Structure 1
């Protein structure tokens, strides 16, 4: 079995959130640049409009503040690259179908014409169930949201600079306070 096939099966078995921290190094190990380093990234899975929508939603969910935003650390590129290079063909097609439904729903709701505050309110209503979408759209959005958050937290810029980070794990201490951990949550 080739390394790339083994990694695909491992990712599917373990789940995307567990695989996320390894994504950049695996893709770089296959002779590719990390996706956040590619200027003018051309989507592999998303259409151009879907990629713009994902980028916009990622920046609404995790905006730039005193820390980088989701698009600043390459989250949309990472999602597109992982779906295109790790997911099996059937899973890719299911993901694409969900994104197409989500894009259509957002377009009908006028999402792209909303102000950032209105977009945030719209996404909050969508997440809490105060706004219902067609079959599969809520699931597609929640899956995308989970990926945005997981890939953001596991990006090098956030994991090393904003969260506590040990490249080689130290001693396991199960019951410590946040202050004893340095006042910050730990990177995955």
Structure 2
């Protein structure tokens, strides 16, 4: 089996995340009520950056909690630490560290703790703002380099890492208990299977799993 098929089937694939029992188990374990959580993989400064990133991607609104309010960063830390294989975890962390260095340089900050959300958002946007065609080309180049054990360009690593942060944020948020039961359409005792339901029946909300 090619190395790209291996990595596609692991944690760098959102599709794998959606069906992995380990993902749901880890998500259920992220219930800390502490103002700050203690990371297992990220450094403390990297974890605080992840808090800010998550709330930029999924900010608090009048009708919904922010990502940090439902422990999304804590889940990402645990998932990358416990589910990713060593090689993919190293690649992810390299791209994540690159991102931190970029925003510190742009903000003239010496440490990540001095970086504000206003410094992060434009950099994150510039990295992730890609068309479908651009995304496919970047991922193809990533898998090609991974297959051939070649050096992966820094820009590619940065995109892959931030893209995975975004994917993991969305997964954790939409599958959290609070969002699933209070924000999305939720039926505690499911009835019959209905394959096609008009969104007007749920006020435009997707059903919670």
SS in structure 1 of the partner of residue 179 of structure 2: helix
Q: What's the CA shift for 1:43?
A: 0.8
Q: TM-score, normalised by structure 2?
A: 0.67
Match of 1:138 in 2: 159
Corresponding residue of 2:6: none
The answer for the alignment partner of 1:35 in structure 2 is 30
Find the counterpart in structure 2 of residue 7 from structure 1.
none
TM-score by length of 1: 0.74
Shift of the 172–15 alpha-carbon distance from structure 1 to 2, 3 Å rule, reads: same
- Tell me if 1:162 matches 2:187: no
Deviation of the 1:168 alpha carbon: 5.8
* Structure 1 counterpart of 2:50: 54
State the shift of 1:27 in Å.
Answer: 4.3
Cα RMSD after superposing both structures: 3.1
CA distance in 2, matches of 1:69, 1:17: 21
Partner Cα separation in structure 1 for residue 51 and residue 97 of structure 2: 15
Q: Aligned pairs, how many?
A: 170
Task: Tell me which stretches of 4 or more aligned residues in structure 1 moved more than 4 Å.
Answer: 10-14, 111-115
Classify 1:27/1:54 alpha carbon distance in 2 versus 1 (closer, same or farther; 3 Å).
closer
Following superposition, the deviation at residue 169 of structure 1 comes to 4.6
Distance 1:101 1:113 in 2: 14
Which one is further off, 95-104 or 148-157?
Answer: 95-104
Distance 1:121 1:15 in 2: 30
Which structure 1 segments of 5+ residues have no match?
A: 1-9
Answer whether contact 1:58 1:76 (CA < 8 A) is retained.
yes
